[in-house]
Structure 1
Amino acid sequence: NVCRLLTRRAHGFYARDAGVAHRKNLGLLRRIMCQESTKFKNVWTTHSASPIAYERGRIYMDNYQCCITSIAQQPRLIYQKSKCAKSEKIEDALLLECPLGEMLPNPSDYKASLIVLTVQNWLLRLSADSGEVLEKVYLAGSCCKFFRYLSWDTPQEVMIVKSAQNKLPATARQAGIQQTVLFYLAVFQVLPLSFIGMLEINKKIFGNSVTDVAVSNGILIVMYSMGLVRLYNFKAILEQFMEQPFDLGQEFNWNGQVGVVGKYPFGLPCNIKITDTPPLLFEASSLENAFQIGGYPWHYIITPNKKKHKGVFHICSLKDNALAKNGIQDMKCCSLEPDWIYFHPDMSGRIIHVGPNLIKVLKLKEVKNHADQMEIAEDFTIVANRENCVNNSVTVTASGRVVKKRFTLLDDDPE
């Protein structure tokens, strides 16, 4: 129980292994949160007209101009910057943490920083403690004007900057002008920040029905309008189709353009040209292109590509597409927002299934006496014990008739 674990920790049982200590601490937290006697109280409330973001104990508001730490007993302000102009609006952000055991060129690299993408296509690295600009890179040259999204290929190592989908104006389409380039992807190594390359996703290579692309763990994921998802080796693409490497700050003469890499107004050169369709690693069909890979051995999660299966998740082996035992997960809930499922980002192989009033933590394990078959087992569940608050409102119509309306405080409860 909790008391026993606390006593063993106080006696130094886990002092020699930080990993064991961390797991035990999380186990303590889980037991405290899941026991029925635990009660939670509201210690702080705030409101914001713009979206509120959260990254590793920091709360960002007012388009990342205000930063509040949530680690202390009472949240406190870390920094508050003056309101920015619309031209400096931040589109997306990632928290960058210092890698362990590496020598870095600048003292500021050893502290956490925030990488942000502005509406004017500037990539900025800000101090997480003060909001001060540490580095800035201009992204958009003549090829692309609308970079909008940041994501990790390899967390805390390789970053992807993705453009919005290129769409021609209606007048250009009516004139018969064809738009073949759908997206641009810029690839960076972080700490120190360095440019790897930029490539385009072209209809001529990947097909006309491409709706979106993503990069994760060395895999290029291409999504299509019919629900098809295709995977390609992203590292092999970079190596095979790289025309010429460039460094940030390097002067270049590229396709008739002369400038400095990462500086205004030239931005970044598109130095990776995919001239042939790369070898296909894997493909699957899923409703709304919902597709995830994780676990050990590798498994993937999809929703069958029919609207009647919305909210039903199939967990299958990546090796042979076999459905895992108990691999169909369906909460059968009805709420304002659908339930969702994902592999836990801690690489433990656990699967988190979140519904309107409970969280199920699942895990992959071998079927007894069948080492080649996996099953989905429930590790533990967190249930939200809501108070059944019922409000009765009375309305009097113009004719004097009394109308009573009964409703619950929360309108997203399952049926």
Structure 2
Amino acid sequence: MSLNIAIIGAGPAGYYTAEAALKHWGGAARIDIIDRLPTPYGLIRAGVAPDHQSIKAVTKRYEATNLGAGVRFVGNVSVGSDVTVAELLNIYDAVVLSVGAPHDKPIGIPGDDLPGVLGSAAFVGWYNGHPDFADLQVPLSHHGAAIIGNGNVAIDCARILAKTPDELAVSDIAGHAIDALRQSAVRDIHIVGRRGPHQASFTTKEAGELGHLERARPVLRAGDLPPLADDAALDPGHRKMVTHLRSFAETTDTAKPVTINFEFFRRPVAVEGNGKAERLIVETTMLENGQAVGTGELHAIPCGLVVACIGYRTATIEGVPYDAANGRFDSDDAGRVFQGLYVSGWARRGPSGTIGTNRPDGFSVVEAIVADGVVGKGGDAPAALDALLNSRGVRATHFDHWQVIDAHEIGQARPGAPREKLVRVADMLGLLG
């Protein structure tokens, strides 16, 4: 008897879970991958930097999974409002939550609610064409921008602000974003971190890219670097990344008009301005036992845009236990919430790791389903879901619909770009007729 599995979330975690299920059960499983957007691929489509097209090639692997026997993509369906988890548990033999962590963690400082203060999920979603953020107001009329965080997302945000329109034109950046960036007055970009270069979590590739931008140069205060001999204690990858940072402190190139300033040992304490963000107040820090400790010395960074790249949280879903302290669903080490309900990816671990880090989660969940003795209870779950959605007037999309959207976007691409994204759900559905 076929095992009916619903996977909620059509991003990397969802597809790797589907791939693991196919490897274990093959044609004996029927898998519905459900997503609230009409399009699949989650953060690959709307989170990976638009100028990193090689990373997005992983969607070919997900496409192969989606075209496998017994696998369906079911888009434009919101779990929690269009259909509940309890209803899915009644229809399917197992339900896996792979919904990611789409919400920004708040900065938690005075003024963080001023216009001009954004989370990275919102800012990245804006330039990547996520429908939730297509109409986001991103102020670019001030010469300064502050980006809080010392990870790759912070570098992505800085790089997008720093690149020329010509550099961005060959990416799949959203049309509204490149139009706005063409008019941008931002020339001084500040990447703000509480600790130092050795504690930064940039990867070598991301850091190195900043040294090869057409109009922008990275700047780092030599005094923020630890003694060169201390680099020997780092792992090779991290040491190479720090080598890039050291080169930024040595550069004498002042011809490029845009600066990307690494503000190490700076702790954000407030955003100030007259009705909008105009400056970020930071406190100089020092390390004590690896922790950043404030010195009391304050400094103002002039900026009209503040982007917080400090982490993400999973949205709560009625009926699913939630770990509020860590911003994710409450599950055991195998990804089991309870027998029949499982979780994978960021919704299980929190926002950590690379795209490929989600793959072991999928196999762990399949092992948990097997260990729990979950068996097919009969019935046609896909047909039952369709009937329920039809009764509520929910218009689901499927993979053939995505292929129509995909072909349209590719056909509408500006010269040199891979696609021109549709950024509104109504336009996507309108295209489908």
Does the alignment reach a TM-score above 0.5?
no
- More helix per residue: 1 or 2? 2
Of structures 1 and 2, the one with the larger relative CO (CA 8 A, separation 6+) is 2
> Could you state the TM-score of these two structures normalised by the residue count of structure 2?
0.22
> Could you state the TM-score of these two structures normalised by the residue count of structure 1?
0.23
Larger Rg, first or second structure (1 or 2): 1
